[in-house]
Structure formats: structure tokens, C-alpha cells
Structure 1
Amino acid sequence: MKKVVTAKKDGDGASPSKLIDGRIRELGDWRGEMLGRIRGLIKQADPDVVEEWKWRGVPVWEHDGIICTGETYKAVVKMTFAKGAALEDPAGLFNSGLDGNVRRAIDIREGEKINEKALKALIRAAVELNASKKKPAKRST
């Protein structure tokens, strides 16, 4: 049985997963619902994902490195893929940060539908890319 691993607790003793739960509740509108939905899709796509809370309040999902972040703004929920420029995006989900050499983002506005199948494929591709870049463990002599 696979389990979702959560990272260390923050200074207040709350785990990253609890802090993300709090952010979703705190938003209390479509952005909270969307962040929760995105989170669920990430966990479906990669059951071994690790949740983090970085940069003073940004939900981050990792597996052998950062997969993506889930930022909330007034008009959008933004999923920023750390190595998005290196990912194939046949469904054209990336609609923000297209000029950068490394990151790509998906801005989701109120009422927009998510192509769940394509998003999960993109998440899996990001995990595979991270795994392919993972440095082998050093051997003890």
C-alpha cells in the first residue's frame, strides 16, 4: 500500500498538508475549491507525492524535486511547473510563463474547466523528468 508522505513540520508545528488544508479553508471561495481540486488530481496522478509549504505560504508538490506549486491570486489559481519548459504539452494546458527557459504555468480562472486527463499526464511527465535528473546516491566505502 502506497502512502502520501508529508514533509517536516513548520515552526508552529503544523505539517505542510495541514497548512494547505488551512489555505483551502481560508480562501473560502472558488479559489479554495480549485486549489483543493488540483491537489486531489496531483495526488491521483502521483500517490507518492510529497506536500511542502514554502516561501512563506506557497503549497508545493514534490517527487524527486519540485513538480509544481499552487499559488492563489485574486483572479487566478496558478500552477507553476518547475521544469515546465522541458515538458511536452500536447493539450496546450500551459498558458502563462511561456517566455521563460525553465518554468511554465497554468492560470485557471473562475468557472474554467480543467482537462483532468491532460493535467494528470503533465504531472506524471514532471515526475518522470525529475526522476530522470535524480543524481544516484553516493556509495559508502
Structure 2
Amino acid sequence: MAKDWREQTVDDLRALINAAVPGVEEEAKWRKPSNPDGVPTFSLDGLICTLETYQDKVKATFAQGASLEDPAGVFNASLGAGKRRAIDVFEGDDVDSEAFTDLVRAAVELNRS
């Protein structure tokens, strides 16, 4: 059976995260009956981001996103949140892989500072 576009999007973002910085750890958190697989959570010297799947989107939430520079304007959700920022990816959207990778690297640098 072919992967759902959301599963493929999570796989694509996961690959970008893992390629961005060696040593990233992935853990499934917040398992519940409606989401038995949990939420993929990525950390290196602190939380980097999570990837949540919804009916209409995949949400990549950066824990310290408000402190990251985003010159490419990739963040498009949770823009008013105090600490976090997110990227909502809808079916058919193209994620700027270079800008996304830059955000992952910047998040790790921030975790290490």
C-alpha cells in the first residue's frame, strides 16, 4: 500500500532533520489511543522539534523557534507564541529543504549555547 502524503511528509522531514546534524535522537512521545504511534520528537542537547500529523497537515514545531532567525520565512504557524514556532505543511506543499535544514542546525546551536 502506498504511503499517505502525511506519512511521506514526516519521512521527508525526518530525513532532513537527521541529515542536518549528526547525532540527532528521535523518540516517540505522547502516545494515546487516537495516536498510538505517538509524536516523533527530535533532540540534540535539548529539544529541537516535533512532527505532528493532523487530518489536513503535518506540523513541525520548533521548541525554541521564536529565538531562531527565519530569513526564508519558513515558519507559518504559532507565530504569536512566546517560545515556539511551527511550519504547517499541507498536501501538495513544498518545504524549502535548505531553509528547514538551516532551522534545525540553528536550533541545535541554540541548545548548545
Return the letter of the residue paired with 2:23.
D
Between the aligned partners of 1:47 and 1:110, the Cα distance in structure 2 is 29
Aligned to 2:23: 48
Aligned to 1:14: none
The answer to whether structure 1 residue 79 and structure 2 residue 60 are counterparts is yes
Between the aligned partners of 2:28 and 2:9, the Cα distance in structure 1 is 18
Aligned to 1:90: 71
Matches within 5 A, 1:23-62: 28-56=3-31, 57-62=38-43
Instruction: Look at both structures and tell me which one has the larger radius of gyration over its CA atoms.
Output: 1
The answer to whether structure 1 residue 109 and structure 2 residue 85 are counterparts is no
SS at match of 2:50: strand
Aligned to 2:35: none
Between the aligned partners of 1:98 and 1:109, the Cα distance in structure 2 is 17
TM-score (norm 2): 0.91
SS at match of 1:97: coil
The alpha carbon displacement at 1:35 in A equals: 0.3
Aligned residue-pair number:
107
Greater relative contact order structure (CA < 8 Å, 6+ sep)? 2
Between the aligned partners of 1:65 and 1:41, the Cα distance in structure 2 is 18
The alpha carbon displacement at 1:46 in A equals: 1.2
Query: What is the RMSD computed on CA atoms of the aligned residues?
Result: 1.4
Between the aligned partners of 1:52 and 1:85, the Cα distance in structure 2 is 23
- Consecutive unaligned residues of structure 1, counting only runs of 5 or more, are 1-24, 133-141
TM-score (norm 1): 0.73
The alpha carbon displacement at 1:95 in A equals: 0.4
Segments of 4+ moved more than 3 angstroms: none
Return the letter of the residue paired with 1:52.
E
SS at match of 1:41: helix
Aligned to 1:17: none
- Consecutive unaligned residues of structure 2, counting only runs of 5 or more, are 32-37
